[in-house]
Chain A
Amino acid sequence: MKPKNIERFSNLTFEDFRRLANDDTLSPCEKIGFPNEYREGKETLIFADVVRKLPGLSLSGKTVLDIGPGCSGLAMMIVKLCRDNGHRFIAVDSVEMLRHLPSEPFITKTAGRFPNGCPDLLTTHQGKIDVILTYSVFHYVYAESNPFDFLDKSLALLAEGGQMLIGDIPNVSKRKRFFSSNAGIRFHQVYTQTAEVPVATHNCLEPGRIDDGVMMGIIHRCRLAGFDAYVLPQPDDLPMANRREDLLITRP
């Protein structure tokens, strides 16, 4: 079923997220821009997928950077994993969002928008981060700032053998492929409680949205910079697996 309040969480900006984080009438999922129906009960599955894709998280004594962790259950699970495995955890987000995370000696909170809002981090941790996670964040970066700058400055932080997961990227090309399929049409009809067939127009330019071209462009840029980069699917049991995918980047 389509969530009633979905428009409230459309086209959010960094400033909108600051306001959501401060709104104590919202659930943790809503504070990070998701209707409860989209995320509640699914974050354990998302966490398992993230851990599977980032083997460095399962080691010990690493330095982990989360860009835009938010404050929902997923962030708390990452924090717990870092505590259990003896990692150093660096969280970059707005001060409003960071105040919801626990304050413990292994956690460093850096308030600001990545990358321009945290120049010290970029200097002090260049080539020193073992794992970077940024989940359900990149499409806001694409809409609001320079995605290449975000990417280049993230990659500069990675240590040798380090891994970065840019997770949960909505890809409009993937979405169209899905909604052109019988499975997608059935999904849409259940979701809208109607018999309508979803509109999926191919071969039209949608310059403001992330599509296959952008995904391939990012991979190309990473590889040109000397990193390995791959598009990874999400498991079917994740809430947006039919229209989102992940990018895994590793420094050889």
Chain B
Amino acid sequence: MGHNKEQPTDYMSTKAFVAGLAGILQVPPETVTADYKLDSGNWDSVAVLATIALIDEQYNITVPAKDLVSCGSVKQLLDLIMARLAAMLQSND
């Protein structure tokens, strides 16, 4: 569903993810910039659970809770996702 294995850094893919994340955090999408601090709002256990599902749905990878909670900002979260995607694509080569 909408995940993008071939072009993990695709702009639309990231935009859709950020929109989904904004929904989870219950904030307007335009406020969720790279520097957005995850713990500044509703980054609770349910948000983590929903974000695991969002990443799975969007990118077809699993980023576990213990790794998600180590991310302080949206940029760190996106970097983590991209690193996982790169590792997955490398292992598929």
A contact set with B: CB distance below 8 Å: 142-149, 205-211, 213-214, 216-217
Q: Smallest CB–CB gap between B29 and chain A, Å? A: 21
A-B contacts, 29 of them at CB < 8 A, read: A143-B64, A144-B64, A144-B66, A145-B62, A146-B56, A146-B62, A146-B64, A148-B49, A148-B52, A149-B56, A205-B39, A205-B43, A205-B45, A206-B44, A207-B43, A207-B45, A207-B48, A207-B65, A208-B66, A208-B68, A208-B69, A210-B45, A211-B44, A211-B45, A213-B44, A213-B45, A214-B46, A216-B46, A217-B49
The one of A146, A208, A213 in contact with B46, judged by C-beta atoms closer than 8 angstroms, is A213
9 closest Cβ contacts across the A-B interface?
A208-B69, A213-B46, A207-B48, A205-B44, A146-B62, A148-B53, A143-B66, A211-B45, A213-B45
Min C-beta distance of A245 to chain B, whole Å: 15
Distance between Cα atoms of A216 and B68 in the complex (Å): 20
Which B residues are CB-close (under 8 A) to A217? Answer: 46, 49-50
Task: Kindly provide the distance from the CB of A144 to the nearest chain B CB, expressed in whole angstroms.
Answer: 5
Q: Is the CB of A209 within 8 A of B66?
A: no
Q: In whole angstroms, what is the CA distance A143 to B62 when docked?
A: 11
**B74 is an interface residue with CB less than 8 A from chain A:** no
How far apart sit A221 and B53, CA to CA, in the bound complex (Å)? 12
CA distance A245 to B45 in the complex (A): 17
Across the two chains, which residue of chain B brings its CB closest to A152? B53
Among B53, B56, B65, find the residue whose CB has the most chain A CB atoms closer than 10 A: B65
Closest to B70 in A: A208
Point out the residues of chain B lying under 8 angstroms from A144, CB to CB: 64, 66
| Interface size, chain B (Cβ < 8 Å) | 18
B47 within 8 A of A: yes
Report which residue of B45, B47, B49, B62 has the largest number of chain A beta carbons within 10 angstroms of its beta carbon: B45
Which chain B residues in 17-72 approach chain A with CB under 8 Å? 39, 43-50, 52-53, 56, 62, 64-66, 68-69
Residues of B within 8 A of A210 (CB): 45
Chain B residue nearest in CB terms to A218: B49
Q: Chain A contacts of B64 at CB under 8 A?
A: 143-146
Provide the bound-state CA to CA distance between A26 and B66, in Å: 27
The answer for the CA separation of A213 and B50 in the assembled complex, in Å, is 11
Known: A208-B65, A208-B69. A146 touches B52 (CB 8 A): yes
Shortest A163–chain B CB gap in Å is 23
**Contact status B62-A214, CB under 8 Å:** no
Query: Nearest chain B CB to A35's CB is how many angstroms away?
Result: 22
Q: A142-B49, A143-B66 provided; 10 other pairs, C-beta below 8 A?
A: A148-B52, A149-B56, A207-B44, A207-B47, A207-B48, A208-B48, A208-B66, A211-B45, A213-B44, A214-B45
